[in-house]
Amino acid sequence: MTTHFARVAVAALLAVVLAPSARGQMRDPLGQLEPSVRYSVELLLDSARLAGVPTRPLESKALEGLSKRADGRKIVLEVRRVLRDLREARSAVGARSEDELTAAAAALRVGITRAELARLASSRQDKQLTVPLVVLVDLISRGVPRDTASQTISQLWQHGAADDDFLGLWSGVQRDIVSGTDPGAALMNRAREIPSRAPVASPRPE
Amino acid sequence: MPDRKQHATAIAVSLALLTTGEHAVAQNASELETRFEAGATSMTSRTSRIPLNAFALTPGIRYADRRLSVSARASAWLSGEQVELGNSSVALEAHTPLLYGVRAELFANASRLYFDPSAQNDQLDAEGRLHLMRQRGGVWLGSGVARPLRVTAVSNVNVSSGGIWTKLGSTTLRGSVTSFFFTKLASPDTIEGPFACTATLDASAPITPPDDGVGALQSTSTGCRHQSRLIDLEGSVGWEHRLVEITVRGGQRFGNSFDVTPESRQWASGQAAFWISNQIAAVAGGGREPAQPTRGLPARSFGSLGLMLAYWPIPRGIVPVESPASLVQAFELRPAGTAVQRITARIGGVESVEIMGDFSDWAVLPLIRRGRDQWELLVPMTAGIHHINLRIDGGRWVAPPGIPTMKDGFSGEVGVLVIKP
């Protein structure tokens, strides 16, 4: 009986001692990074906080690199690039949601200019930019010429296209590309199927 | 005179062990698959010559790469003390790259069909097709020739076909029209009705069209030649949902009464498989099959009830294994409660499927197998944009198909999920 109580007491003691470290690991996923890598990533996170850009995409990129067994130096380079792109994106589209800034940063990386992003952001300030930008980035990576993709998405956006329109457009274009259609032509053809939803401006009285 | 109204009825109860001994996808997307089925089958036939509890062994092998697929399969019956060759086939499929949604396909087969010792046939056939393919459907037109080997009364068979298929959610609809055109030889006393002929005319006699104009009949010194044309209109519906797979097919045959017996005018059959666990499925089916006059095989009714045991070991280290996203036949997300998404993937012939993404802090989450090729997982996921990767059998992390992608900065890609609020 005494032995039984002793075992229970030891187990309870171990639970109390080990619990904080387990909780710590749950709260600190960056703890799995090598100390030097973690130090560099923490510096970049501090820079992000100072610059007022979201830190979650940076943490996420570091964890992604860790899970994909990337080299520590490569992880730091990628996190630094994400920070740079997020800063640039914010200066182009202004204070937007984390998703929008992340999508804008991805757009910059495939060659969309800050001026193009700024035009998109200013044309419909009340709407989320995320889905059009996600579709734009994917289309360029699938071989649609950058200018064609940028102009088409921009026009659709200005004509009031909704998220479902963009996702439907993406779905149709990628099907056409798989079927052998030229990526640029596929986008132009599919874009014509989307009706304009922009409110018709009433003519000004002369 | 053969009885054209003969029935062959088969009832099979089988326990099959299916093992894919080696199944590996190499770097060049080629695939090697070996399989082995063993089962006890009982069958009653027209002649009842196959004893109950015959035992069949069916080894098979298939090699496929991006343009070519070769497969062979044979079953051997252990009937009493004799081993007999049962249903067997060697098949070759080749196709060109897809160009503007169109590809050319070539099929060549040597096959053996075995109903019972008195009804069996070997045949060589080849067909070319033009296939217009889209993501959710396609149409094809084809033409070919078949040569039955054991039916001396039938010449080469010209086969023309056309078809259409489409996918609607988990349902696949198919429709096809196939025309068979061949010359049949028969002794004068086997011909009846408007096709009767006498044996007194010789081979140089002119061809005389029959009264109904459907076929031309020419008598020879040993019998009559009759040009036959059959047209089969067939449709099928396949439905799959998690643990259940159901296929129903039916058809109608057109042709004159000399070529098409009443019991082959319409047919229908169905088959269902229910996966009891990852490796055990109950299979049931039944229906009616039309006669195959070009192969000398009668119409038959059949019923089957079986239990299939499946096991797919994948040896590692023999062939470099890669996990191309093309293995994923379907990938879907559906809301399953507040801030929870149900991820389902349809991937056949693999041992493990895993995902990771920003929603899991890039921790690896294994999907749970449901049935033969269904994988599923409930994942907490808030509204917004999420990045996701998928991995098959411990291979490379890839973006799941059917969603936008972007470069990940680590020489790969991530899928971008858009979760609506």
3-state SS of chain B is CCCCCCCEEEEEEEEEEEEEEEEEECCCCCEEEEEEEEEEECCCCCCCCCCCCEEEEEEEEEEECCCEEEEEEEEEEEECCEEEEEEEEEEEEEECCCECCEEEEEEEEEEEEEEECCEEEEEEEEEEEEEEEECCEEEEEEEEEEEECCCCCEEEEEEEEEEEEEEECCEEEEEEEEEEEEEEEECHHHCCHHHCCCCCCCCCCCCECCCCCCCCEEECCCCEEEEEEEEEEEEEEEEEECCEEEEEEEEEEECCCCCCCHHHCEEEEEEEEEECCCCEEEEEEEEEECCEHHHCECCEEEEEEEEEEEECCCCCCCCCCCCCHHHEEEEEEEECCCCEEEEEEEECCCCCEEEEEHHHCCCCEECEEECCCEEEEEEECCCEEEEEEEEECCCCCECCCCCCEEECCCCCEEEEEEECC
Token pair 């056939």: residue = B125
Give the orientation angle of helix A163-178 with respect to helix A146-158, to 10 degrees: 150
Please state whether the predicted TM-score (pTM) of the whole model is above 0.80.
no
Q: Which residue has the tokens 């990386």?
A: A109
Which of B361, B410, B413 is facing A70, going by the closest CB pair?
Answer: B410
Q: Which one has a higher pLDDT value, B215 or A82? A: A82
Residue A189 has pLDDT above 50, yes or no: yes
d(CA B414, CA B420): 19
CB contact, 8 Å: B262 with chain A?
no
Pick left, alpha or beta for residue B87 (phi over 0 → left; psi -120 to 50 → alpha; otherwise beta): beta
- For residue range A97-135, what is the model confidence (pLDDT) as tens digits? 999 999 999 999 999 999 999 998 888 778 888 999 999
B413 to chain A: which residues are within 8 Å by CB?
141
Least Cα separation, residue A108 to chain B (angstroms): 12
- Do B404 and A134 lie within an 8 Å CB cutoff? yes
Residue B17 at interface with chain A, using a CB cutoff of 8 Å: no
Q: How far apart are CA A166 and CA A144, in angstroms?
A: 15
Q: Decide if B134 and A175 are in contact by the 8 Å CB cutoff.
A: yes
ipTM > 0.85, yes or no: no
Q: Which of A60, A138, A181 sits opposite B405 (nearest CB)?
A: A138
B366 touches chain A (CB under 8 A): no
Residues of B in contact with A67 (CB under 8 A): 356, 362-364
- Which among A74, A98, A170 has CB closest to B410? A74
- Spell out the residues 6+ positions from residue B23 whose beta carbon is closer than 8 angstroms to its own: B31, B32, B33, B34, B312, B314, B349
Arithmetic mean of pLDDT over chain A = 83
Contact B405 A63 (CB under 8 A): no
Per-residue pLDDT, B292:
84
**Which pLDDT value is given to residue A53?**
92
Q: B358 at the A interface (CB within 8 A)?
A: yes
B1 touches chain A (CB under 8 A): no
Length of chain A (residues): 206
Q: Do A63 and B387 touch (CB under 8 A)?
A: no
Task: Say yes or no: A185 contacts chain B, CB-CB below 8 A.
Answer: no
Of A93-97, A194-198, B330-334, the range with the lowest mean pLDDT is: A194-198
- Cβ contact (<8 Å) for B100 and A167? no
A170: chain B residues, CB-CB within 8 Å:
404
Q: Which of B135, B356, B410 sits opposite A65 (nearest CB)?
A: B410
> For residue B361, which residues of chain A lie inside 8 Å, CB to CB?
29, 60, 63
- Which has more confidence, A202 or A86? A86
Question: Chain B: nearest CA to A118, how far in angstroms?
Answer: 21
Residue A167 at interface with chain B, using a CB cutoff of 8 Å? yes
Q: Which amino acid is at B311?
A: Y
Give the model's pLDDT for residue A76: 94
Report CB contact under 8 Å: B362, A167. Answer: no
Q: A64 — contact with chain B (CB < 8 Å)? A: yes
- Per-residue pLDDT at B21: 38
A68 touches chain B (CB under 8 A): yes
- Is the minimum CB–CB distance between B131 and chain A shorter than 8 Å? no
Stretches where chain B sits below pLDDT 70 are: 1-56, 66, 77-81, 116-117, 135, 151-154, 186-223, 242, 277-279, 308-326
Is any Cβ of chain A less than 8 angstroms from the Cβ of B408? yes
| Cross-chain Cβ contact B408/A64 below 8 Å | yes
- How close A10 gets to chain B, by Cα (Å)? 32
B358 and A102 within 8 Å at the Cβ level: the answer is: no
Between CA B289 and CA A182 the distance in angstroms is: 45
